[in-house]
Amino acid sequence: MMNEWKEIANTMENTYLRKWKESGRAAVGYPCTYVPDEVIYAADILPYRLRGTGTTSSSIGDTYFGPVICSFPKCVLQLAGEGRFNFLDGTIIVPGCDSMRRLDECWRKAADDYKGILPGFFHYFGVPHKVTDYSLMWFYEETLKLKEKLEKHFGVTITDKALKVAISVYNESRKLLMQLDKLRVKDKPVINGEDALSIILASTAIPRDEFNKMLRKTLSQLEIKKETIKGKKRLMLVGSINDDPEFMKVIEDCGAVIVTDTMCFGSRSYSDLTEEEGDPLFALAKRYLNHAYCPRMFGYYKPRLKNIMDRAKKAKVDGIILQNIRFCDLHGSENGIFERDLEKEGIPCMRMEREYGPLTESGRVKMRIDAFLERIS
Amino acid sequence: MRKETKEYNFDWNMWTILENASKTADGFRKEYETLLNYIPNYRNVLDAFVRHGEPGILFLKIIAKYSNDCVRAHIEGRKTAGVTFCFATPVLYAFNIQPVTLEPWSVLGTVVLKRGTSEFLDYCSELGFTETSCSSQRGSLGAYLCDLATKLDFVVYDSPGICDTNANSFAFAASYLDIPFYQLNYPSTLTDERAKEYHHADFKGLISFLEEQTGRKPDMEKLREIMKENKRQDELTCELLDLQRLKPSPMPPIYELMLYGGRFMMNGTKEYTQLLESMVAHTRKKAEAGKAGTTSGNERARGLFCYIDHYTTDGRLWDFLDKRDISHMGSILFNFWQKDSLYAAGKEDEGYNLEDESLEAIIDSLADQMSRMPMVKQIRGPYDAPGMWLDDTLGAINIMKPDFVVYMGTMGCRNTWGMVKPFVRDLEKHGIPTLYIYADSFDDRVQSWEAVADKLEEFLKIRKIIT
């Protein structure tokens, strides 16, 4: 079963996606956890989270983006330019941060030079940077606009009933992922971070109901699994986007196991449920604007610190890796204060800057992890 | 950080330098010339202001007053707010709050100090603030974080949704120093009713925050007085823009820095009005004589700086332009989008109008002013959307008729570096020679001013702008 998860995690066009497309249904890409996938799912469209996995060059990314930009959007643009997202019928752009925001123009401009890479549906989804009554209302209207645009472009109707079903399916998914969390944080974990990440990645690339079915099966297997992980240092991973199970492997091969995280391809995407009562669209807006904060939400340092501390305590971690992709100042800077405050609480931390994409620097990463593990042993 | 750097507070040290600099022209010419030998690190820039007579000297006095106000705020019982340059200051002055604007402090430090602000830039990194963050804040933020400057009572910023890197500096400062903060957060659109309502609601939240921090309500009388100055300043700015576009442009290149520098520090104050009046009067005289604003009175080319200027040690950009008889046709920092400005002709919905009939009207119009500040207006949405960066730059090109456009900024500017390549390509498609420079306007170590000057020179030559 784990091999199937890994195959989905490591392949752009996985079997489920291909079957979905063969059945004549559409797929829409989205870049971050602030997009309510349920709205897309309720339109019978496959929500597919954009990743830059498998890039071997950044020639296209570097043509449109400047030199001091995070490698994640560059890799996404690279794949788009190579036509590897041509299976998508639509894309949603989110102002997750300055670099991700500019994926909008860079993708559109690249499409002038690389014909056919711009999906028919290309939508900018505004997300406020704080939570207030008026920003929630703004976000609700954005969600409503997204719904209406999807309806118009794809000729579908997204009913309240379909939204409620989607909410229920996604909530179930989140509950299952929380169950997986419990297996990760056990004194003797039955699954490592690499495998857990593969499962989480699959949740963003295949239909959610299929995902739930598969995860239920995996959980039942894990719950009776005799073989446990012993004698490893228990680590937590915090910071910029990571969708690379190989990165987790490099860390874990040094003699560690990643038992918890606050990553966006991680607990941040499933630790809050959507209310199932009332107006479903408003419930989604509320959940997505309020969900475990990314540092793009300015001024929520303390709740984020508390989240890390709570999860670290629950998972009994020996140390925390605070990593950021180079030029990701939002995570990178906050990691600096996290380090100060977490070390004060007696939690050993290691800050690490890295590149997104192919592991060209695994030697350096390994050496730093080795040194950190030595420090906390 | 070197031990010597810690011996004096950064802002106090700067204030003593600036205070003395502002008095240099008060003495005899011979005294002044002798004095220049003792200030090798900023003699060029000081002389550039003094050479421009009354407006230059008034500007020196403004920055001396501003730095004095920052240093003495607590002694005088005023609260200090850490703010960003694109935050319109009238609302703070109305609450008797001293704006401590990081970017002008960084500019002053990099212009005046021998090593620029490199030690404060690096100190931020020592604390964990990324070295890739924007140097325009880091240059002075380091001093505030290491307690070598007036304590900040709280932070207010208006860059979330505009420039996350900028916003992140202020979020970092508030978290690191554990002080209260308020953010004005902007949607990606500007002119629709939804955006307007959002701006107004958010601004009212700011007013409540300021009331909470100061324990007082806005003083109506003071507010009206500030609005009066604010309005007058808008009129003068519009007049200056109108004069600037003449051929040859009668406005000296360095006035551009004086216009926005004064505005970022002291918008709404009488001193800034006086500076603008003097700038307008002097520019008018040049226009009447049919002379360019350059020292020679000639104009060989007109350059538009589509983003910001270059400030590192001794601020030599303006001198570079002046010596080559190049008129500075403005930057993104130069235009504030008053409804009556040339830029807003035919695009009135993109401009703001100051109203003073009631408190409600004043607050709403200040919210509109804030939402049109440089950068806040132009880079909140896709650069090629109506009313955004490309549109505004093409508008400026149409009005100012520059011969070339230059982009220079900071290496921390994710937002503009994220799209400057296609932006430049678009400008070239419109037939305007455009150069983007890999340099940092606040940190000479990224690329020295000499290298930047070489690049500019090369560009002007190759594109046959100045032969």
Contact residues for B241 (Cβ-Cβ < 8 A; gap 6+): B330, B335, B341, B342, B343
How many Å separate Cα B353 from the centre of its chain? Answer: 21
Find which of A59, A71, A74, A105 to mutate to test the B interface (most B CBs within 10 Å of its CB): A105
Q: Do the Cβ atoms of B422 and A134 come within 8 Å?
A: no
Q: Do the Cβ atoms of B165 and A299 come within 8 Å?
A: no
Q: How far apart are the first and last CA of chain B?
A: 46
In the structure, what pLDDT confidence band is assigned to residue B5 with cuts at 50, 70 and 90? confident
The rounded distance, in Å, linking the Cα atoms of B373 and B430 is: 26
In the structure, what pLDDT confidence band is assigned to residue B2 with cuts at 50, 70 and 90? confident
Of the candidates A150, A89, A75, the residue with the CA atom closest to the CA atom of residue A119: A89
**B213 touches B82 (CB < 8 A):** no
Q: Do the Cβ atoms of A102 and B415 come within 8 Å?
A: yes
Q: What is the mean pLDDT of residues B6-10?
A: 91
Which amino acid belongs to residue A48? Y
- Other C-beta atoms closer than 10 Å to the C-beta of A228 total 12
Q: Do the Cβ atoms of B188 and A95 come within 8 Å?
A: yes
Residue B334: the pLDDT is 86
Q: How far apart are the first and last CA of chain A?
A: 34
Q: Do the Cβ atoms of B422 and A109 come within 8 Å?
A: yes
Q: Do the Cβ atoms of B130 and A329 come within 8 Å?
A: yes
* Residue B53, phi-psi category: left (phi > 0), alpha (psi -120 to 50), beta (remainder): left
Chain B residues in contact with A139 by the CB 8 A cut-off are none
Sheet holding B154-157, edge to edge: B98-101, B80-83, B154-157, B181-183
**Which helix or strand (DSSP H or E) is residue A91 part of?**
strand A90-93
Residue in A63, A98, A337 closest to B415 by CB: A98
Chain mean pLDDT for chain B: 95
Q: What is the mean pLDDT of residues B232-240?
A: 97
Inform me whether the pLDDT recorded for B277 exceeds 90.
Answer: yes
Of the candidates B112, B84, B111, B76, the residue with the CA atom closest to the CA atom of residue B100: B84
Burial class (CB in 10 A: 0-12, 13-18, 19+), A305: middle
CA distance A335 to chain B (A): 7
Where are the alpha helices (H) located in B332-419, listed in sequence order?
359-371, 389-400, 414-417
CA distance B411 to chain A (A): 7
Angle between helices A193-203 and A2-10 (to 10 degrees): 60
For residue A28, give the 3-state DSSP assignment. strand
CA distance A170 to chain B (A): 28
Chain A residues in contact with B167 by the CB 8 A cut-off are 129, 298
Full DSSP string of A142-178: HHHHHHHHHHHHHT----HHHHHHHHHHHHHHHHHHH
Contact residues for B417 (Cβ-Cβ < 8 A; gap 6+): A65, A66, A67, A68, A69, B409, B411
DSSP annotation of B419:
T
Q: Say what the pTM is.
A: 0.96
Q: Do the Cβ atoms of A334 and B133 come within 8 Å?
A: no
- Angle CA B19–B22–B26, to nearest 5: 125
Q: HSE, CB side, 13 Å, CA atoms: give it for residue A293.
A: 20
Chain A residues in contact with B183 by the CB 8 A cut-off are 129-130, 298-299
Of the candidates A211, A238, A206, the residue with the CA atom closest to the CA atom of residue A309: A238
- Other C-beta atoms closer than 10 Å to the C-beta of B428 total 12
Q: Do the Cβ atoms of B412 and A105 come within 8 Å?
A: no
Chain B residues in contact with A101 by the CB 8 A cut-off are 415, 418
**A233 touches A205 (CB < 8 A):** no
Contact residues for B446 (Cβ-Cβ < 8 A; gap 6+): B135, B411, B438, B439, B440
Of the candidates A58, A301, A65, the residue with the CA atom closest to the CA atom of residue B413: A65
Find which of B157, B168, B206, B446 to mutate to test the A interface (most A CBs within 10 Å of its CB): B168
Chain B residues in contact with A95 by the CB 8 A cut-off are 161, 188
CA distance B382 to chain A (A): 6
Closest-approach residue (CA) in chain B for A295: B168
Chain A residues in contact with B421 by the CB 8 A cut-off are 63-66
Residue A359: the pLDDT is 67
**A10 touches A245 (CB < 8 A):** yes
- Two tokens, residue A183: 């297996």
Name residues of chain A where pLDDT drops below 50: none
The rounded distance, in Å, linking the Cα atoms of B251 and B124 is: 38
Closest-approach residue (CA) in chain B for A132: B202
CA distance B276 to chain A (A): 35
**B271 touches B62 (CB < 8 A):** yes
- Angle CA B72–B78–B84, to nearest 5: 85
Cβ contacts below 8 Å, chain A against chain B, sum to 144
Contact residues for A288 (Cβ-Cβ < 8 A; gap 6+): A33, A34, A35, A36, A139, A143
Strand partners, A27: A46
Q: Do the Cβ atoms of B418 and A141 come within 8 Å?
A: no
Chain A residues in contact with B185 by the CB 8 A cut-off are 128-130, 135, 298
Full DSSP string of A104-125: HHHHHHHHHHSTT-S-SEEEE-
- Two tokens, residue A238: 């915090």
Find which of B169, B414, B426 to mutate to test the A interface (most A CBs within 10 Å of its CB): B414
Q: Do the Cβ atoms of A105 and B197 come within 8 Å?
A: no
CA distance B171 to chain A (A): 6
Contact residues for B456 (Cβ-Cβ < 8 A; gap 6+): B320, B406, B435, B437
Closest-approach residue (CA) in chain A for B205: A132
The rounded distance, in Å, linking the Cα atoms of B83 and B159 is: 10
Find which of B165, B175, B197 to mutate to test the A interface (most A CBs within 10 Å of its CB): B175
Find which of A32, A59, A72, A129 to mutate to test the B interface (most B CBs within 10 Å of its CB): A129
CA distance B271 to chain A (A): 35
Domains of chain B: 4-217 (3.40.50.11890)
For residue B329, give the 3-state DSSP assignment. strand
Of the candidates B39, B28, B89, B41, the residue with the CA atom closest to the CA atom of residue B62: B89
ipTM: 0.95
Q: Do the Cβ atoms of B128 and A336 come within 8 Å?
A: yes
The rounded distance, in Å, linking the Cα atoms of B94 and B207 is: 10
Q: What is the pLDDT of residues B319-374, one digit of tens each?
A: 999 999 999 999 999 889 999 999 999 999 999 999 999 999 999 999 999 999 99
Chain A residues in contact with B420 by the CB 8 A cut-off are 66
Q: What is the pLDDT of residues A248-269, one digit of tens each?
A: 999 999 999 999 999 999 999 9
Residue in A99, A109, A124 closest to B414 by CB: A99
The rounded distance, in Å, linking the Cα atoms of B60 and A98 is: 36
Q: What is the pLDDT of residues B398-450, one digit of tens each?
A: 999 999 999 999 999 999 999 999 999 999 999 999 999 999 999 999 999 99
Angle between helices A160-184 and A193-203 (to 10 degrees): 180
Q: Do the Cβ atoms of B417 and A97 come within 8 Å?
A: no
Of the candidates B165, B129, B102, the residue with the CA atom closest to the CA atom of residue A296: B165
CA distance A295 to chain B (A): 9
- Two tokens, residue B171: 């979020």
**B167 touches B181 (CB < 8 A):** no
CA distance A299 to chain B (A): 6
CB-based burial, B358-397: b 16+ in 10 Å, e otherwise:
eeeebbbbbbbbbbbbbbbbbbbbbbbbebbbbbbbebbb
**B62 touches B264 (CB < 8 A):** no
Q: What is the pLDDT of residues B83-127, one digit of tens each?
A: 999 999 999 999 999 999 999 999 999 998 888 899 999 999 999
Find which of A112, A140, A329, A338 to mutate to test the B interface (most B CBs within 10 Å of its CB): A329
Closest-approach residue (CA) in chain A for B383: A105
In the structure, what pLDDT confidence band is assigned to residue B314 with cuts at 50, 70 and 90? confident
Residue at token pair 């009554």: A133
Find which of A64, A68, A70, A340 to mutate to test the B interface (most B CBs within 10 Å of its CB): A68
Show contacts of B444-451: CB within 8 Å, 24+ apart: B444/B110, B444/B116, B444/B118, B444/B312, B444/B313, B445/B118, B446/B135, B446/B411, B448/B312, B449/B310, B449/B312, B449/B313, B449/B316, B449/B317
The rounded distance, in Å, linking the Cα atoms of B43 and B22 is: 13
**A290 touches A326 (CB < 8 A):** no
Residue in A105, A134, A326 closest to B132 by CB: A326
Which amino acid belongs to residue B466? I
> What phi and psi values does residue B311 have, to the nearest 5 degrees?
-115, -10
Q: Do the Cβ atoms of A67 and B438 come within 8 Å?
A: yes
User: Strand B98-101 vs strand B154-157: parallel, antiparallel, or unpaired?
Assistant: unpaired
Q: Do the Cβ atoms of B164 and A65 come within 8 Å?
A: no
Residue B24: the pLDDT is 92
Chain B residues in contact with A327 by the CB 8 A cut-off are 132, 414
Full DSSP string of B41-99: TTHHHHHHHHHT-HHHHHHHHHHHHHHHHHHHTTTTT--EEEE-TTS-THHHHHTT-EE
Residue in B130, B382, B414 closest to A69 by CB: B414
Chain B residues in contact with A344 by the CB 8 A cut-off are none
Q: Do the Cβ atoms of A129 and B194 come within 8 Å?
A: no
Q: Do the Cβ atoms of B171 and A135 come within 8 Å?
A: no
Domains of chain A: 11-156 (3.40.50.11890)
Q: What is the pLDDT of residues B248-271, one digit of tens each?
A: 999 999 999 999 999 999 999 999
The rounded distance, in Å, linking the Cα atoms of A251 and A247 is: 7
